[in-house]
Amino acid sequence: MSLGSRFGRVLVFLLLVCLIITPLASAEYQPKPITDAEPEPSVPAAPAAPVVKPGPRLIVELEKAPLATWPDGDAVVMSVRGKLDAKSPEAQAYMQVLKADQDSFVRALARNPQLANSIRPATFQTEQGATRMLAFQAALNAVTVDVNGMDLAQAERVLLAMKGVKAVYREYAYTPALYASNPLINSQVIWNLVGGQARGGEGIKIASMDGGIHKDAPMFSGEGWSYPAGYPANGYGLTENNNGKIIVSRAYFRDWDPPAEGEGFAWPGPTGTSHGVHTAGIAGGNVVTASYAGMTFTNMSGVAPGAWVMSYKVFYDSVTGDGSFYTPEGIAALEDIILDGADVLNCSWGGGPTSIGGEGDALDTALRNVVAAGIFVAVSNGNAGPGYGTGDHPSSDYMNVAAQTTTGTLAIGQLIMSDADALSSYPVLNDIPASMADDWGAPLELGESELFDYVPAAAVAPGNALGCNPFPAGTFTGKTALIQRGGSSCGFGLKALNAQNAGAVAVIIFNHEDGGDTLINMGAGIYGGQVHIPVVFIYESDGNALSDWYADNSNSGEVVFGYTGYQVGNEPDIITYFSSRGPAVGNRLKPDIAAPGDNILSQGYTPGAVGEVRHLGYGQASGTSMAAPHVAGAAALLLQLHPDWTPAQLKSAMMSTARYVDIYDYDGTPAQPLDMGAGSLNLEGAMDPGVLLDPPSLSFGALGGLTGLVTKTIQVQVKSVATSTQIYAISTISYTDSFTSSMDMPGVTFDPAELALEPGQTGYISVTFDCTLAGSMGDFQGYLLLTSDDYSVHLPAWAQYGSTFPFDVLVIDNDASARPGSGEVDYVGYYTETLKALGLSSHVVDVDALVGDPEATLFLPRPDLLAGVPLIIWFTGDTWEADGHDIVPTPFTQWDKDVMANYLNQGGRLIVMGQNLAHTLNAGNDPGYFSGVMLYDFNLGAVYLQNTVTNEELPTQPFVAMPSAPKAYQNVSVYAGYVNQPYGETGAENQRFVDELYCLEPGPESPPLAYEYQSLLRYTATVNPWYQGIVAIYHRDQVSLDRRAISYLGRSIYTSFGLEGVVDPEDPVIDPDSPVDTRAELLKLLIDTLNDEPQGSISNVQAPYSYVNTFTYDYQSPVDSSVGVTYLWDFGDGTSRVRTSSNRVMHQFSGPGTYTVSCQVYSNYGNNHVADLTFTMQEVDEFRVYMPVVLK
């Protein structure tokens, strides 16, 4: 689960802005709620002392494979089940080879005149206070370096040109995303087979890469434990924390950001997080008798209480308040996890749906290499649900886990109506379950009670029923405010603060419809620290009943809140509202499986406790962070029974036997593979699945639409692990509205229809999705079933049949003119007519015309309909109100944001134009910092500074190019101001609220893997700009000579002014030789930028009797000419790169050999392409000396 915003950190803003706006200077990370609290930006207290933070570090990968993927390693360093034996002589010898290469690289750094004074190897501080170089050999063959102020792009270029360097990555930040849960996954079945609960997982080592494990916590007591064979007498790391149950205790502290006082150990200290002890307790905690809020629970344990646990503390409270970990320290932990011999790894953290994974993502590559080393890895899917495409961790190697409910919840608190008549009139109000914010606000002491005289916000402020905006002074003087949960980016802390500022003495927040009758732990967010009154949370039905009672009883109502513990029922087998949904970035079927993650009781998060003792008691937490360790513990139990199973086989066994029938989505419909993967974890089936499947799921991805694909076939390998011959009948099944009726999964065919397998035999099934057989377009989900007399297994399946869009552009009209009674102006004609002038057809979806339905969640077209759209233009006109401001939902809802982000994540192209976008998306509450709205922060790449760069006046000067903008923008001069300035009366005269933006720079403060944000346009007047007056930003991940793989597929341009405001000449003419100053010219420029697709290849001619070659790059682009294009050449022989404006270059090589020449082209629109040519130069009979010549 996430303890921060979806992106890990708030922006540490530029010094210039910090000096101008003093409150921004101390903005840093603050942990957020331990459940699915509404996203809010986070700002902690100022650091205790100034910290000098270096520029982003670079991870330099060298050419040889790491130990985990060493091609020769399978035969010599793998154990029987394929697990890497890092202690073997062969493995140690190979690591010495890698270390020697790394030592040579470090020496070369010191000798390189371009780098010697700037770049040096980076280090970190261990749990023992030792300084250790951030160099890796097992998970990745790489050395991390500090750039020390050197230009980042230049450093990357020079490093990649060095001998033996394969790739260069930038660092990014990541954040931490059992009572009643073990019976749900049938742990006890395996416990009974291995000699009882306490021996479950015996002999297996579970690694926790989290916030640290504490030796004094009862679930990690070392009494009766001894260390594994081959381990040192007191384990590895800080042995003071090791006790036989805990066998490794390591920590990873950043040099530039050391731990806060009391946190510099391997365990969580007085201000540290309980996240690590909680998740490790779920996976492998001892059998204990737990006390919680006056209740006692005997025989509570983790899933695998007999397993050893290994602690790798990457999350810590630092002197700057930054609770994230960064890529280099993360890889260092993964390196140690391999070398220390872990069997299972739990990763309850993530960075949000921002990466397709793979070779362009250093941490994901290292994580996959951990699996390649034979270690099973469970990861959390994220807590950004229930929107489409909100999941994290896209790769297929590890196990991605969603969260489901359990059979019971422990509540601390009850509301009791003080009026007995209410109980007869409203039976639902009898003993209302409640929870209290216990780490912010003013929590009561256990056993204490208080009378609340409540007033519903909806009754006194109908336009602000969700409390997302300030209430008039005195609205709740002396009263308790009753406010409903909800509102885009409107967290609990903000609601409570708004009520407190209006005189409230307490706040009751009741769940929204989607959350229903469940209790959650409320997070403080950025505003909770300012709240000094009690804040209570109750069910949706109870909140509605309290509102009704108030209305029916002369606008009065009183309840008594008692802060005591008790057990409340809960409906199991529901995929939680907050659990992120698939598909993963790159159109992959995720999550893989579901496990309990709702109100899980485990070690830590002790209610009412402060300091280090918070980690030593017991508490509840919710999130996919709590679901993932259930799967990690389950893997340990299965390994105990099947020590020869590989990570892929463990994954197959759990997925193929998961329960998929009678598992429901939060809205009561059957849960689907994009909600839960294969279904709910079921160890009773996983221990004897009959077959092992590869792959274990059928991810057909996107078909139809723009893909041009009609069919896709996946071949499934089926290996029998049964003890007798089995004949499997093959079929498909799909559920839609209920489990009482089913059908074959549309569009799916398979061959053969039956498969007979003897013990140990392997067979194959070809499974095809055919759009022509699917019928309609949409997301198709279901299961492929293999059923014999003794076994029944399945594979989840998903395919998206995208629509064919018959227009060039989809226009999203979001100017609010169609909302009932809005009075706003309709600007759609400015867009459709301009597109028409450009010869482009368009279709308009007016999302505001759909406003009025109180149940509405999505105003945009469905994802499968957007999948076929080549370009979206979305404009805001004069809109400024965010969802939650009105009594009914308005666009963009959180669902809308998720769907638009998913469109971009899967490769869509978007132009957003208009004023007030930050406020419309609820992303403008805290100027200068990440807003927590992924669509705004990551996909568009914007940071909001202010809502008017012109001081609420029409612009008096044009919008012009940023100095760093691509060449195609350098002649832009767009007016959006007064009609009596240079042009005729053709503009809307509405551009008074053009937001000023800050363009994200790649680095630790950026969202993960945010490459190639470019600021395009600025406002030049000095009326009101805070920084540079930026009003347009381009986001497109780019390849380069330094980075050959991308991690983000989308393309977007965001202008904070609207096209309707652009003042055309009276007789507009598109003239390529004149400045870009018309609506049509501007829009054409933006569209061409997105459609620009530079391509090319390299050819060469060798001069006679010499080693001089002439290379030619054949440049092509659908929108760009070769005039003005820049070429960057790397000749592959160790010489310096050459930049030219010509597509031809001559180069003299030193002699014969095989060379790879590479060229990066940089188009006029700022887009890159890289081509390579590998050729062999033969030795010449006569050598003639030529001076190197560059044609420019």
- The pLDDT, as a whole number, for residue 837 is 94
CB of 217 within 8 A of CB of 224?
no
Q: DSSP string of 107-166? A: HHHHH-TTTTTT-EE-EEEETTS-EEE-EESSS--EEEEE-TTS-HHHHHHHHHTSTTEE
Burial of 531 (0-12, 13-18, 19+ CB in 10 A): buried
Q: Which residues contact 1072 (CB under 8 A, 6 or more apart)?
A: none
The arithmetic mean of pLDDT across residues 554-558, rounded, is: 75
Whether 320 shows a pLDDT value over 80: the answer reads yes
Query: Average per-residue pLDDT in the chain?
Result: 86
**Which residues of the chain does CATH 2.60.40.10 include?**
690-739+746-802, 1095-1177
- The pLDDT, as a whole number, for residue 524 is 81
3-state secondary structure of 895: helix
Whether 708 shows a pLDDT value over 50: the answer reads yes
Whether 693 shows a pLDDT value over 80: the answer reads yes
Q: How many helices and strands, by DSSP H and E, does the chain display?
A: 24, 55
Query: Count of CB atoms within 10 A of residue 1173's CB?
Result: 18
Grade residue 428 by pLDDT with cuts at 50, 70 and 90: low
The arithmetic mean of pLDDT across residues 1089-1102, rounded, is: 95
Whether 1142 shows a pLDDT value over 60: the answer reads yes
- The pLDDT, as a whole number, for residue 178 is 44
- The pLDDT, as a whole number, for residue 1087 is 98
For residue 530, the 8-state DSSP code is G
Whether 646 shows a pLDDT value over 70: the answer reads yes
Whether 1009 shows a pLDDT value over 50: the answer reads no
The 10s digit of each residue's pLDDT in 17-53 is: 222 222 222 222 222 222 333 333 333 333 333 344 5
Q: Which residues contact 151 (CB under 8 A, 6 or more apart)?
A: none
Among the residue ranges 324-333, 424-433, 712-721, the one predicted with the least confidence is: 424-433
Tokens 């020079």, located at residue:
158
- The pLDDT, as a whole number, for residue 675 is 97
Q: Tokens for 1115, please give them.
A: 């440049």
| Identity of the highest mean pLDDT range in 203-217, 613-627, 848-862, 1039-1053 | 203-217
Among the residue ranges 472-481, 996-1005, 1172-1181, the one predicted with the least confidence is: 996-1005
Kindly state the percentage of the chain with pLDDT values over 70.
87
| Domain at 51-171: CATH architecture | 2-Layer Sandwich (3.30)
Please count the residues of the chain. 1192
Whether 783 shows a pLDDT value over 80: the answer reads yes
Considering only residues 749 and 741, tell me which one the structure prediction assigns the higher pLDDT: 749
Cα–Cα distance for residue pair 532/493, rounded to 1 Å: 11
Largest CA distance in the chain: 109
CA R_g for the chain: 30
CB of 412 within 8 A of CB of 436?
yes
Q: Which residues contact 290 (CB under 8 A, 6 or more apart)?
A: 179, 218, 296, 297, 300, 601, 618
Cα–Cα distance for residue pair 34/276, rounded to 1 Å: 12
Q: Tokens for 723, please give them.
A: 């003890």
| 752 cis-preceded (ω within 30 degrees of 0) | yes
Grade residue 565 by pLDDT with cuts at 50, 70 and 90: low
CATH domain 409-569 topology: Glucose Oxidase; domain 1 (3.50.30)
Which residues share a beta bridge with 453?
558
Q: Tokens for 1008, please give them.
A: 């993960």
Which residues share a beta bridge with 731?
785
Question: What proportions of the chain, in percent to the nearest 5, are helix, strand and coil?
Answer: 20, 30, 50
Whether 64 shows a pLDDT value over 60: the answer reads yes
Considering only residues 240 and 2, tell me which one the structure prediction assigns the higher pLDDT: 240
Q: DSSP string of 419-470? A: -HHHHHH-GGGSSEEEEE-SSSS-PPPTT-EEEEEEEEHHHH-GGGTT--SP
Chain-centre distance of CA 967, in angstroms?
Answer: 33
Cα–Cα distance for residue pair 1117/1092, rounded to 1 Å: 6
Grade residue 100 by pLDDT with cuts at 50, 70 and 90: very high
Q: Which residues contact 823 (CB under 8 A, 6 or more apart)?
A: none
Q: Tokens for 406, please give them.
A: 């359990």
Considering only residues 113 and 895, tell me which one the structure prediction assigns the higher pLDDT: 895
The 10s digit of each residue's pLDDT in 194-246 is: 888 888 889 999 999 999 999 999 999 999 999 999 999 999 999 999 999 99
CATH domain 809-1091 topology: Rossmann fold (3.40.50)
Considering only residues 1075 and 382, tell me which one the structure prediction assigns the higher pLDDT: 382
- The pLDDT, as a whole number, for residue 33 is 27
**Dihedral sign computed on CA atoms, order 802, 806, 809, 814:** negative
Q: Which residues contact 195 (CB under 8 A, 6 or more apart)?
A: 202
3-state secondary structure of 271: coil
Whether 794 shows a pLDDT value over 70: the answer reads yes
Grade residue 418 by pLDDT with cuts at 50, 70 and 90: low
Half-sphere exposure of 1129 (CA within 13 A, CB side): 26
The 10s digit of each residue's pLDDT in 495-549 is: 999 999 999 999 999 998 878 888 877 888 778 889 999 999 999 989 998 998 8
Instruction: Give backbone dihedrals phi and psi of 453, rounded to 5 degrees, phi first.
Output: -95, 105
Whether 586 shows a pLDDT value over 80: the answer reads yes
First to last CA, the chain: 54
- The pLDDT, as a whole number, for residue 185 is 67
- The pLDDT, as a whole number, for residue 74 is 63
Tokens 């007789």, located at residue:
1067
CB of 939 within 8 A of CB of 1052?
yes
Type of residue at 379: V
Whether 15 shows a pLDDT value over 60: the answer reads no
Q: What is the pTM of this model?
A: 0.84
- The pLDDT, as a whole number, for residue 1002 is 52
**Which residues of the chain does CATH 3.40.50.880 include?**
809-1091
The arithmetic mean of pLDDT across residues 1058-1063, rounded, is: 94
Cα–Cα distance for residue pair 597/1, rounded to 1 Å: 10
1095-1177 under CATH 3.40.50.300, yes or no: no
Cα–Cα distance for residue pair 399/381, rounded to 1 Å: 9
CATH domain 690-739+746-802 topology: Immunoglobulin-like (2.60.40)
CB of 97 within 8 A of CB of 104?
no
Whether 822 shows a pLDDT value over 90: the answer reads no
- Assigned superfamily of 182-406+586-688: Peptidase S8/S53 domain (3.40.50.200)
Cα–Cα distance for residue pair 32/527, rounded to 1 Å: 11
Whether 369 shows a pLDDT value over 90: the answer reads yes
3-state secondary structure of 549: helix
CB of 869 within 8 A of CB of 804?
no
Cα–Cα distance for residue pair 1061/54, rounded to 1 Å: 42
- The pLDDT, as a whole number, for residue 140 is 95
Chain-centre distance of CA 1184, in angstroms?
Answer: 58
The arithmetic mean of pLDDT across residues 300-308, rounded, is: 95
Whether 1040 shows a pLDDT value over 90: the answer reads no
Helices (H), 186-269: 187-193
Grade residue 292 by pLDDT with cuts at 50, 70 and 90: confident
Whether 136 shows a pLDDT value over 90: the answer reads yes
Grade residue 1007 by pLDDT with cuts at 50, 70 and 90: very low
**Which residues of the chain does CATH 3.40.50.200 include?**
182-406+586-688
Cα–Cα distance for residue pair 398/394, rounded to 1 Å: 9
Grade residue 1074 by pLDDT with cuts at 50, 70 and 90: low
